[in-house]
Chain A
Amino acid sequence: MSPDFLNFVEIVLNGLMAGVMYSLVALGFVLIFKASGIFNFAQGVMALFAALTLVGLQTGQVPFAHLINAILGSNVHHWGDGMNTFLAIFLTMGVMILLAWLVEKIVLKHLVNQEPIILFMATIGLAYFLEGLGDLMWGADIKTLDVGLPVGGSFWWEDLTREWAATGTEYYGMYIDVLDVSATLIALVLVIVLSLFSQYTATGRALRAVADDHQAAMSVGISLRTIWVIVWSIAGFVALVAGIMWGTKSGVQFSLSLIALKALPVLILGGFTSIPGAIIGGLIIGVGEKLAEAYIGPFFGGAIENWFAYMLALAFLLFRPQGLFGEKIIERI
């Protein structure tokens, strides 16, 4: 095989795996949108908040240390050496569930029957609030997150692919990050678990009923508010997974919340209401972005990754306004 072709394969593979990372965030959006019709802009910040909490618990930081010191003039920062990673993940999940409950209790309950745009704005407000809260609780410095996932390039794959290249050509093998591979596997497991959950459990069925028709679901005795708490908790769980993955990859810092913006074109490509859509949309965006950067980017001086995904999604929308797998938009007067 010629090096050019192998390069192409490498770009596609890396694009696919980057796409999986986008899908992880997009998944949280879709879950909440399906169940409550809310476009949850705070999903990215939830991932950041989850990652911050996880690191904080793991390393044993005192929450709100900065604020406490400012008010009391004390100098607290750590309460010990931290805790076991699994315990920390478990506790973080608890925090996310608490957050879901609070969001329902304080915000959503009062906004039932408001227009979607108002709910969207409320989630932007929530995003700001969480961003400030996360920084206030755990400090704004960049933190490294290590939950024991392997990182770095795979030498085995590099050696293997080097042999594929035709002899006599200069080819040094493909670079693939092991973390991306584990992210792909985890995303796969996550999607399977989520679809099994929504297909075969009573709660899952209730979730789908609510997604289908709020009023009909209420009339057969499903509590909307409980469902919302559950959905936001699941979205919190997805955010935690995304936060762990992205946090391990690029450090836990503010820019983590910007992955929400990356997930938006994935969403409109796949459709707001489809879980497979989120995955396939993510893959298309990931591959498209990487290919465009490699083959079209040089003509424009590079760095087109920032907007290419949006343009791709936009061009796509012109032909299919509801996205790939979205429900057909029917309008009546």
Chain B
Amino acid sequence: MLYREAGDFKTTYRADQQTFPIKSERILFWAFIAFAFLIVPFFINDYWNKAVLMPLLIYSMAALGLNILVGYCGQVSLGTGGFMAVGAFACYKLMTAFPGMDMFSVVILSGFVTAAVGIIFGLPSLRIKGFYLAVATLAAQFFLVWVFNKFAWFYNYSASGQITAPERSIFGIAVTGPSTAPWATYLFALTILFVFGWIARNLTRGRLGRSWMAIRDMDIAAEIIGVSPLKAKLSAFAISSFYIGIAGAMFFANYLGAAEVGEAFGIDKSFLVLFMVIIGGLGSILGSFLGAAFLVLLPVLLKNLMVGYLGWATDLAAHIQIMLVGGLIVFFLIAEPHGLAQLWRITKEKLRIWPFPY
């Protein structure tokens, strides 16, 4: 009753192809966006910003990037942490070298730097496939972390080897550094995520996205019908790294404020983002957001429940949390290998004919 397509007539091809073809879905989407942009900033406090919203937005961005590579182009990558580190360090170098630059430009330029690095580490994908490629991307992960640890130029020769974000602003409002308002960083991250989420959605259904999917489904067949594997794979690596680099830059500059490369961008980050993509749904833009939301909210919820409510020790809660996350991943893969996005699709199908399914 609430969600139906009856009476929703399409008269043009354009209208038929839009992202949200059903009117009620469109209304719901814009209402949600309006809520996120216009209502949340007034009620946000520091805890919600730091513990829930910022990680959610930033990991969504990273998951979006990884989903382009793994979900749409079929190239498994375990180097996400390394690419996030590239974004973070590019951001740091740009911030310190050009103090006058506004934060949007810094973040987007860091994305471009990461894209260039991504292309370099994407080159082996032209020759090797599947698990072999996954292991090869681990080379990127370990190599990049080592580089940022070893060469002091990257962290401006600071004694601790840490990078610390100086205060930078947009339109005179500080979005990085210690004295930022929660709503400012939140809106900054949300704007970037919204814009690039929109771009990603449109990329994936255009010519480029279709060439990625052709490569994913069967690369030899795709090559025979004229899809260039070189262009498709390297563009997927570049764009995916671009997104991941932006996520890394925001993770460091807006969220952490100070970062140490081995700790903040280790191999566990790579796995975390990969889990988000898998749980959310491979090859789905919505899935990237759902996966990120699930894996960001679950630990917060569990921690509040076990430490706050039951009063257990934090290390005990941490062990149970790891166990549950692992168990849930297995559970999701068994119950619905196509992730949360598929569950949402099924729900929509059910809703369409509710309450008279026959």
List A residues at the B interface (Cβ < 8 Å): 39, 66-67, 70, 106-107, 110-111, 114-118, 120-122, 124-133, 135-136, 140, 261, 264-265, 267-268, 272, 300-301, 303-304, 306-307, 310-311, 313-314, 317-318, 321, 323, 331, 333
Contact = CB atoms under 8 A, between A and B. Distances in A.
Given A121-B278, A124-B271, A321-B127, A132 B139 contact: no
B326 interface: yes
Contacts of A131: 322-323, 326
Contacts of B36: none
B143 A307 contact: yes
A118 B145 CA distance: 28
Which of A66, A124, A127 counts the most chain B CB atoms within 10 A? A124
A317 B337 CA distance: 30
Contacts of A323: 132
B135 A116 contact: no
A61 B327 CA distance: 25
Interface of B: 76, 124, 127-132, 134-136, 138-139, 142-143, 145-146, 149-150, 218, 220-221, 224, 267, 271, 274-275, 278, 310, 312-313, 315-316, 319-330, 333-334, 337
Contacts of B146: 303-304, 306-307
A331 B319 contact: no
B321 A132 contact: yes
A118 B336 CA distance: 11
B127 A128 contact: no
11 contacts: A39-B131, A70-B312, A125-B327, A125-B333, A132-B320, A268-B132, A304-B146, A310-B143, A311-B143, A313-B139, A321-B128
Given A118-B337, A317-B128, A331 B220 contact: yes
Given A124-B271, A131-B322, A307-B146, A317 B131 contact: no
B124 A314 contact: yes
Nearest to A127: B326
Nearest to A304: B146
B330 A272 contact: no
Contacts of B134: 120
Contacts of A128: 322-323, 325-326, 329
Given A310-B138, A333-B221, A129 B131 contact: no
Closest 6 CB pairs between A and B? A128-B326, A132-B323, A125-B329, A129-B326, A310-B139, A132-B322
A268 B224 contact: no
B319 A116 contact: no
B319 A135 contact: yes
Contacts of A135: 319, 322
Nearest to A329: B129
B143 A130 contact: no
Given A121-B278, A124-B329, A125-B329, A111 B334 contact: yes
A317 B324 contact: no
A70 B131 contact: no
Contacts of A311: 139, 143
Contact of B326 (A106, A125, A268): A125
Nearest to B143: A307
B329 A121 contact: yes
B329 A122 contact: yes
Nearest to B142: A307
Nearest to A132: B323
Contacts of B145: 306
B295 to A, nearest CB: 11
Contacts of A317: 124, 127-128, 132, 136
A128 B316 CA distance: 15
B76 A140 contact: no
B134 to A, nearest CB: 8
B315 A140 contact: yes
Given A67-B320, A310-B135, 16 more contacts: A67-B316, A120-B134, A125-B275, A128-B329, A129-B322, A129-B330, A140-B319, A261-B138, A264-B138, A267-B135, A268-B132, A268-B135, A303-B150, A307-B146, A311-B139, A323-B132
Contacts of B139: 307, 310-311, 313-314
A137 to B, nearest CB: 9
Contacts of A140: 315, 319
A117 B310 CA distance: 38
A130 B295 CA distance: 18
A66 B329 contact: no
A136 B271 contact: no
A303 B267 CA distance: 17
A168 B331 CA distance: 68
Contacts of A318: 124, 127-128
A117 B129 CA distance: 12
Contacts of B124: 314, 317-318
Contacts of A306: 142, 145-146
A136 B313 CA distance: 12
Contacts of B271: 124
